[in-house]
Structure 1
Amino acid sequence: MSGQSSNVENLSPQTIRQVAKEISELSSNPPEGIKVYPNEEDITDIQATIEGPGGTPYAGGLFRVKLVLGKGFPSVPPKGFFLTRIFHPNVASNGEICVNTLKKDWKPELGIKHVLLTIKCLLIYPNPESALNEEAGKLLLEQYEDYSLRAKMMTEIHAVPPRTSKECKNTMDDVPSTSAASEYSCNGPMAKKHAGDKKALEKKKKDKKRTLKRL
């Protein structure tokens, strides 16, 4: 973790206290399917594991992710990375995550919990429109079965823990619907938008097939 500690010196004492408080809360009361591993030597380097949600090609997997808080945090969003290899449209080959919450939709009041839940939602609702992995994005849109098979294979190779994968397959299909978590849930407005996008894409594909049949 050397090289990251300088970020601590660049953060205000107030920000450091706020981050430490949130990490402590996440450690003692983690969201379902997410576990945070604090780095006591460098609070700006946050690691967590996310269980692959049921009903997705990532089910049964345990994915390690990393958030790095830069010197501009919280005005500047943290950078997110998958440390576990994954086949996903919004994850680059180096593990970098592309999600609007970490880009244009970021607000200083959004915390670490929101970012981790958003990454988990991304496993349920990939966004091919902002693909960092073009091959995965293309397969998701045009050949979903092939995309699903590739994603499952990568999950089994790199993300299934040594213990039985069945233990992980009992993970939730949705983020818990408690009042505290509901605004971040995968059933929220953001998720509905992605679900709507997916339906629209499926309709486009069906229309395209009908047109080709006519030709």
Structure 2
Amino acid sequence: MLQITIFNPILIHFLIHLFILNSLVNDLEQIIQNKISQVTLQNNRMIQEPQINPQLGPIIAKQMQTIIKQPIDGVHVMFNEQDVFDIQADIEGPVDTPFQGGVFRCKLILPPQFPQVAPKGLFNTKIFHPNVSEKGEICVNTLKKDWNPLQWSLKNIFEVIKCLLIVPFPESSLNEEAGKLFMENYDEYFKRAKLLTSIYAIKQDGNVLKGNNQNVNDDIDKKNKLAQTQQKKENDQKKWLKRI
């Protein structure tokens, strides 16, 4: 009978490779198990979380087509054939407001309970407005007002948002600074809102300048510093001329 000592290098080499292979198999099984757990968790979440009724898709598509054929003055909707739930529009700043001359990209977000619950609105273009947060969220109370789940209309929603640019409701402010200025110092509010419109909402080469709706104080500070620098130069020039 052939005997192999434990010190046989071939046997040792074989055992090492066997050990490594066994470790790799165990690791692979663990990875597969983790992936299965992740997929299962995602599926459970999809089942548990309420989804928008897919039967609303054709209704929304029809309403969007109606708005395109019978447009709202100053509102240009963008119909996404690939995803009818992607509801966006460009809203022109109304005349005699600090938003005049600007174009503001707006998006509607439909909650799972829609149409029993009113949609949410979001400005993707920076705007200084009492009823719009610094992140672009539009005051929900405004969209909920007179909402009728049996007679809802996307056209009406966009009309409400446009009217909000004409007549803000500072008592329901999401931007406290804008609301306070609107009530206490309208001229300063108008100036600030117009400044942001000129920076972020004016079209260039047919494209809307869209800024992420975050804190806008940095941009305003830059503008103010630039104006102060220019004023200082003018004052220095006047002093120099007087000396001459």
User: Would you call these one fold, judging by a TM-score over 0.5?
Assistant: yes
Residues 1:72 and 1:9: Cα distance change in structure 2 (over 3 Å): closer
CA distance in 2, matches of 1:8, 1:161: 39
Unpaired runs of 5+ in structure 2?
1-45, 207-244
- CA distance in 2 between counterparts of 1:158 and 1:124 reads 19
- Give me the identity figure in percent: 51
In the other structure, the counterpart of 1:132 is: 174
Matched, 1:86 2:133: no
Q: Post-superposition shift, 1:18?
A: 1.5
| Structure 1, unpaired ranges of 5+ | 1-5, 165-215
Counterparts in 2 of 1:45 and 1:115: CA distance versus 1, 3 Å: same
Q: Is the 8 A contact 2:52 2:114 kept in 1?
A: no
| Number of residue pairs aligned between Structure 1 and Structure 2 | 158
SS for the counterpart of 1:10 is coil
Tell me the amino acid that sits aligned with residue 92 of structure 2: E
Highest RCO, 1 vs 2 (Cα 8 Å, sep ≥ 6): 1
Pairing 1:95–2:139 present:
no
> Structure 1 residues 59, 104: CA separation in 2 closer, same or farther (over 3 Å shift)?
closer
* Structure 1 residue 143 corresponds to structure 2 residue 185: yes
Q: Does 1:67 align with 2:108?
A: yes
TM-score, length of structure 2 as denominator length:
0.61
CA 1:9–1:98: 2 relative to 1, 3 Å: closer
What TM-score do you get using the length of structure 1 for normalisation?
0.69
Please report how far the alpha carbon of residue 68 of structure 1 lies from its aligned counterpart in structure 2 after TM superposition. 1.3
Q: Look up the match of 1:161.
A: 203
Q: Contact 1:8–1:44 at 8 Å: present in 2 too?
A: no
1:17 Cα deviation from its structure 2 partner: 2.0
Q: Whole-Å Cα distance in 1 between the matches of residues 118 and 51 of structure 2?
A: 17
Match of 1:207?
Answer: none
Displacement, 1:42?
A: 1.9
Please tell me the residue identity of whatever aligns with 2:193.
Answer: A
Question: Paired residue for 1:185?
Answer: none
- 1:41 Cα offset (Å): 2.3
Structure (1/2) with the larger helix percentage: 2
Who wins on radius of gyration, i.e. which is larger? Answer: 2
Structure 2 distance, partners of 1:20, 1:65, is 17
Equivalent of 2:62 in 10, 13, 21: 21
